[in-house]
Amino acid sequence: MKKGQIRTGIVKEVKFPNKAVVEADALETEGSERVESEICIVKNALPGQKIRFVVSKFRKGKGEGRLLEVLERGPLESEYTENGEVSCKHFGLCGGCTYISLPYEEQLKIKEKQVKDLLEPVLSRQERKFVWEGIKASPVCYGYRNKMEFSFGDEIKDGLLALGMHKRGSFYDIVTVDECRIVDEDYRSILKGTLAYFQDCGADFFHRLSHKGYLRHLLVRKAVKTGEILIALVTTTQAEYNLEGFKEMLLQLPLKGKIAGILHIQNDSVADVVKSDKTVVLYGQDYFYEELLGLRFKISPFSFFQTNSLGAEVLYQTAREYIGNLDAENTGKESIVYDLYSGTGTIAQLMAPVAKKVIGVEIVEEAVEAARKNAQLNGLSNCEFIAGDVLKVLDEIEEKPDFIILDPPRDGCHPKALKKIIDYGVDRMIYISCKPTSLARDLEMFLDCGYEVEKAVAVDQFPWTANVETVVLLSHKKPDSTISVKVEFGEGEGKVPLDNIAKRAEAYKPKERVTYKMIKEYIEAKYGFKVHTAYIAEVKRSLGLPMYDAPNAVEELKQPRKHPTAEKAEAIKDALKHYKIV
């Protein structure tokens, strides 16, 4: 397999995230040499498909490729119409939904296997067998998203203004997703109306290379429970258009939901991100309300909130059941709960009824302010929210936790923050992860520090995509048995003298490990010359002293070992005697 080579093959399985394992067909080469089948990783392919791909990388026997076309559909694909087209006309063009040609039940099986395959190699290290609870489905499969960030651009085929999602594999081309199936009809109506309005105006989009243009993004958020809609047009300040007409167009759309606010967000950053330099309210207000598990949440344009409201209820109910059971087993409602990476405080407020107090920590100040307002809105007086980096804030909180809930970003916890979290030594904690590879990595440290996984479950928040959430319940491993020994210290019969304890402690005190640096400094100070580390190693080897295993040790040396002069060898031996190594 060579870079640039075009091959065909069958997809054997799909690993997280969206990595299809393809067995490339055997290849006849020039000179009648036959290359047997090889394995390559290709994105955006599905189990059982026969595909054509180009090799983009091949190193150390591992290949990576880019999908060119699907030659034959897989046996699991059934969401096709009679004319052979997928139920979503944007499938394959839009970079969003990977699994929409598969039955939802088959998609769940794939995601469950992906998470389990990532966790089992790590958790096989623990003595206790963990309970795998499978995967929980999203209550709805279509029209489930409560937030979409549409981008302005053009479609390469005609150059017309487009509004939608990035074309698969492209940073510049946009696909107008006017029939997207993961949002409801209101989103599609708003998208079509906005696109038509600015096409008529002749407005230009912001070019990502030249950094010139006006239109950037259209942000739409809609609450499932209340039906309230928040719309934000994101532009640069490089031009001016009649946004009063834009506002009136939106208000006249036949929507099922109710528009709570229409905003104009100005953003002159060169980065392709949705952010605000200035926000102007064109209509209504700059927030809306959503409800989860009986609680009400005020959400602003940039507030973090799970994008699948009904799926979030399944996720949070699972976490609440985990901590509810813990609470009943331990301290009733006298527990202190940490909600780390708390966002707008959704989890903290859902956990508040089963705790004495919940302390949320979040680095985004806007989210913390929203969390405080939401707690007040829901009449919760036992929630405290702190703005700051978890790594630093943990040193400032005086109240120590009884339980900890982690819901970090996709990359997981910072190793130093994770160490501080583990050092609290709480009996149990919950880890909610949106990226199972990061979760598996962090679980390695938990296991190394005396924790083990009791149970875990995957929760599908994102139907038709490659993403999946996981909830894990961790507990601190306890000894199988203990022996209680009563000891009295002091003078007299049956008592242990304190001075004997001090002497024994000194006798058994571990010796300080002598490093090569210490030896080199001793020699330089006494003899006035420096010695190479390799010389010290060679002298130790000649004396038959034990050598520490080096992590980068090799079986065969590329160069012969360095031998010290007689003078330096004697100096090294003197240093070894000084430190009582010989």
* Domain-located, residue 99: no
Q: Which of 299, 333, 354 is the last residue of a domain?
A: 299
The token duo for 503 is 């002497």
Quickly count: other Cβ atoms within 10 Å of residue 561's Cβ: 10
Looking at the structure, tell me whether residues 279 and 153 fall in a common domain: yes
Looking at the structure, tell me whether residues 333 and 458 fall in a common domain: yes
* Domain-located, residue 446: yes
Burial class (CB within 10 angstroms; exposed 0-12, middle 13-18, buried 19+) of 79: middle
Looking at the structure, tell me whether residues 17 and 124 fall in a common domain: no
Distance CA 159, CA 301 (A): 30
Quickly count: other Cβ atoms within 10 Å of residue 328's Cβ: 10
Looking at the structure, tell me whether residues 433 and 574 fall in a common domain: no
Active site residue 434: yes
Looking at the structure, tell me whether residues 420 and 569 fall in a common domain: no
Is residue 114 scored above 50 in pLDDT? Answer: yes
Confidence (pLDDT) at 546: 67
CB 109 within 8 A of CB 432: no
Looking at the structure, tell me whether residues 432 and 364 fall in a common domain: yes
* Domain-located, residue 289: yes
Angle (nearest 5°) at CA 545 between 542 and 550:
100
Looking at the structure, tell me whether residues 384 and 458 fall in a common domain: yes
* Domain-located, residue 86: no
C-alpha atoms less than 13 angstroms from C-alpha of 456 in its C-beta half-sphere? 26
For 304-356, write each residue's pLDDT tens digit: 889 999 999 999 999 988 886 544 444 445 789 999 999 889 999 988 888 88
Is residue 94 scored above 50 in pLDDT? Answer: yes
Strands 174-175 and 258-266: unpaired
DSSP assignment string, 314-380: HHHHHHHHHHHHHHHHTTTT--EEEEES-TTTHHHHHHGGGSSEEEEEES-HHHHHHHHHHHHHTT-
Q: Which of 424, 455, 476 is the last residue of a domain?
A: 476
* Domain-located, residue 485: no
Give the model's confidence band at 191: pLDDT under 50 very low, under 70 low, under 90 confident, else very high: very high
Collapsing DSSP to helix, strand or coil, 195 comes out as: helix
Confidence (pLDDT) at 335: 86
Confidence (pLDDT) at 333: 57
**Whole domain around residue 569: which residue ranges?**
516-578
Collapsing DSSP to helix, strand or coil, 251 comes out as: helix
* Domain-located, residue 562: yes
Q: For residue 431, give every residue at least 6 positions away whose Cβ sits within 8 Å of its Cβ, in sequence order, or none.
A: 406, 439, 442, 443, 471, 472, 474
Burial class (CB within 10 angstroms; exposed 0-12, middle 13-18, buried 19+) of 317: middle
CB 188 within 8 A of CB 145: no
For 217-255, write each residue's pLDDT tens digit: 999 999 999 999 999 999 999 999 989 999 999 999 999
Confidence (pLDDT) at 484: 64
Distance CA 194, CA 213 (A): 17
Cα end-to-end distance, the chain, whole Å = 55
Among the listed residues 384, 392, 398, the one whose alpha carbon sits nearest the alpha carbon of residue 414: 392
Out of 290-299, 454-463, 471-480, pick the least confident.
Answer: 471-480
Looking at the structure, tell me whether residues 310 and 420 fall in a common domain: yes
Taking residues 486-493, report their average pLDDT.
69
Neighbour-count burial for 264-280, b at 16+ CB within 10 Å, e otherwise: bbebeeeeeebebeebe
For position 228, which CATH number holds? 2.40.50.1070
Q: For residue 218, give every residue at least 6 positions away whose Cβ sits within 8 Å of its Cβ, in sequence order, or none.
A: 149, 150, 152, 163, 190, 191, 194, 231, 232, 233, 234
pTM of the full predicted structure? 0.77
Taking residues 46-57, report their average pLDDT.
94
* Domain-located, residue 163: yes
CB 377 within 8 A of CB 403: no
Looking at the structure, tell me whether residues 263 and 157 fall in a common domain: yes
Distance of CA 1 to CAs 10, 32, 33, 42, 365, Å? 16, 16, 13, 14, 51
Strands 161-166 and 147-154: antiparallel
Is residue 70 scored above 70 in pLDDT? Answer: yes
* Domain-located, residue 265: yes
Q: Which amino acid is at 234?
A: V
For 509-555, write each residue's pLDDT tens digit: 555 668 888 899 889 888 888 998 888 888 888 887 765 544 344 44
The total of structural domains in the chain comes to 4
> Out of 180, 383, 413, 434, which one is annotated catalytic?
434
Compare 466 and 501 and report the one with higher pLDDT. 466
Distance CA 518, CA 145 (A): 61
Confidence (pLDDT) at 219: 98
Neighbour-count burial for 437-457, b at 16+ CB within 10 Å, e otherwise: bbbbbbbeebbeeebbbeebb
The DSSP letter of residue 148 is E
Compare 128 and 161 and report the one with higher pLDDT. 161
Taking residues 381-400, report their average pLDDT.
94
Looking at the structure, tell me whether residues 44 and 176 fall in a common domain: no
Distance CA 319, CA 210 (A): 47
Collapsing DSSP to helix, strand or coil, 427 comes out as: coil
For position 50, which CATH number holds? 2.40.50.140
- Scanning the structure block, which residue is given the tokens 């490729």? 65
For 268-308, write each residue's pLDDT tens digit: 999 888 899 999 999 999 999 999 999 999 998 988 889 99
Distance CA 394, CA 392 (A): 6
Looking at the structure, tell me whether residues 170 and 242 fall in a common domain: yes
Neighbour-count burial for 504-536, b at 16+ CB within 10 Å, e otherwise: eeeeeeeeeeeebeebbebbeeebeeebeeebb
Confidence (pLDDT) at 326: 47
For position 124, which CATH number holds? 3.40.50.150
Q: Indicate the length of the chain as a whole number.
A: 582
Distance CA 34, CA 517 (A): 56
CB 479 within 8 A of CB 471: no
Confidence (pLDDT) at 553: 43
Looking at the structure, tell me whether residues 118 and 199 fall in a common domain: no
Q: Which of 246, 279, 299 is the last residue of a domain?
A: 299
CB 423 within 8 A of CB 448: no
CB 402 within 8 A of CB 335: yes
The DSSP letter of residue 498 is H
For 415-434, write each residue's pLDDT tens digit: 999 999 999 999 999 999 99
